[in-house]
């Protein structure tokens, strides 16, 4: 079974030969391979020849990551939101894995509020202004989605952090007015363009989980255990409607010990993979400073789980 077949099967809530795995970002390329991605700050000013070379460097690293860690999909995160990167990844990987593009800053979210005092006032006193900015962000996001579709992307990962550990960053009722309609618009646009919509947020979204289920997304990534997101309960509520990705606790991958990493990984696998609809991964990304051996140990636990005898149907 190819990675793409494995991903598509689990997204249909069918059990593949093993749960699929990939990470939305892997930033330990120097620790793993002794090379580095091009500096993210340089992309905007690159000449066309330099950009082509930089994309080639990225694809060389992506190939190493996918081969070593046996990823079933790739989200092209460098260059960010760039159809040229997606196009190059599709040429490189073809139909072996799913290839996706990333779109961020597409709705009001924690990272996109420039002035919190002004934003709080606008929510109550100038809601038309809040909606106007949200509409413009969604328009820009849909234009980026179109470019990714034209480049051949299989999926789009829409990333906006709209929750803290304590819950949504604004009241659930305000999320329903100012955030979710625009996210739903983007999910629908991704589907219209023939791609699979993924959606991301960190934090505790249990108070608005039903709203996430209504977005039309195919997969929700993060499922943040540090915010109290119990994947067993989330899976129970989402099965058949919204696939899940993640939940292996990043703080444990940062600090260990091995036994805690094992418990977190197995909890996800044992509770979320039955019946399909689960992509194994961390609750965020493989970020700088995380010990590489801890990610490798997480994958060792994953391989042990995948080698278990499968129950007869």
Angle made by CA atoms 276, 92, 142, in degrees to the nearest 5:
65
pLDDT number for residue 206? 97
What pLDDT, in 10s, does the model give residues 129-140? Answer: 999 999 999 999
The reported pLDDT for the residue numbered 310 is 77
The whole-number average pLDDT for the span 208-222 is: 97
DSSP 55-110: HHHHHHHHHHHHHHHT-SEEEE-SSTT-HHHHHHHHHHHTTSSEEEEEEES-SS-G
Residue of higher predicted confidence among 114 and 311: 114
Question: CA-CA distance, 176 to 167, in Å (whole number)?
Answer: 14
Domain ranges (residues) in the chain: 3-306
Phi, psi of 58 (to 5 degrees): -60, -45
pLDDT score for 68: 98
pTM of the full structure: 0.96
**pLDDT at residue 210 in the model:** 97
pLDDT digits (tens, 9 = 90+) for 26-83: 999 999 999 999 999 999 999 999 999 999 999 999 999 999 999 999 999 999 999 9
Tracing tokens 């005898």 back to the chain, one arrives at: 309
Tokens of 111: 């990272």
Give the model's confidence band at 312: pLDDT under 50 very low, under 70 low, under 90 confident, else very high: low
CA angle 305, 308, 312 (to 5 degrees): 130
**CATH for the stretch 3-306:** 3.20.20.210
Q: How much of the chain exceeds pLDDT 90, in percent?
A: 98
Q: What is the pLDDT of residue 257?
A: 98
pLDDT at 215: 97
Q: What is the mean pLDDT of residues 287-300?
A: 98
- Inter-CA distances, 193 with 79, 149, 150, 234, 241, Å: 21, 6, 9, 28, 20
The answer, yes or no, to whether residue 313 has pLDDT greater than 80, is: no
Q: How far apart are alpha carbons 34 and 61 in whole angstroms?
A: 10
Residue 108 pLDDT more than 90? yes
> Mean pLDDT for the chain?
97
Alpha carbons 9 and 56: distance in angstroms, whole number: 30
């Amino acid at each position: 079974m190819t990675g793409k077949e494995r991903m598509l099967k689990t997204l249909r809530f069918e059990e593949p030969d093993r749960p699929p795995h990939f990470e939305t970002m892997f930033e330990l390329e120097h620790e793993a391979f002794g090379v580095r991605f091009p500096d993210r700050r340089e992309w905007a000013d690159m000449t066309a020849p330099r950009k082509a070379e930089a994309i080639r460097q990225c694809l060389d690293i992506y190939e190493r990551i996918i081969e070593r860690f046996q990823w079933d999909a790739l989200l092209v995160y460098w260059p960010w939101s760039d159809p040229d990167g997606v196009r190059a990844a599709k040429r490189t990987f073809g139909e072996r894995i799913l290839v996706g593009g990333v779109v961020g800053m597409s709705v009001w979210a924690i990272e996109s509020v420039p002035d919190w005092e002004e934003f709080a006032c606008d929510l109550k006193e100038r809601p038309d202004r809040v909606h106007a900015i949200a509409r413009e962000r969604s328009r820009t996001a849909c234009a980026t989605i179109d470019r990714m579709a034209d480049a051949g992307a299989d999926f789009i990962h829409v990333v906006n952090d709209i929750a803290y550990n304590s819950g949504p960053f604004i009241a659930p009722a305000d999320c329903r007015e100012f955030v979710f309609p625009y996210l739903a618009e983007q999910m629908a646009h991704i589907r219209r363009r023939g791609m699979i919509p993924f959606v991301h947020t960190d934090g505790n979204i249990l108070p608005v989980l039903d709203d996430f289920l209504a977005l039309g997304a195919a997969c929700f990534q993060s499922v943040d255990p540090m915010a109290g997101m119990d994947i067993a309960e989330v899976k129970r509520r989402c099965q058949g409607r919204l696939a899940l990705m993640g939940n292996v606790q990043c703080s444990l991958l940062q600090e260990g010990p091995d036994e805690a990493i094992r418990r977190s990984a197995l909890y996800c696998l044992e509770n979320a993979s039955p019946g399909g609809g689960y992509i194994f991964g961390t609750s965020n990304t493989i970020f700088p400073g995380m010990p590489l051996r801890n990610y490798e140990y997480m994958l060792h636990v994953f391989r042990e789980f995948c080698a278990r005898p499968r129950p007869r149907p």
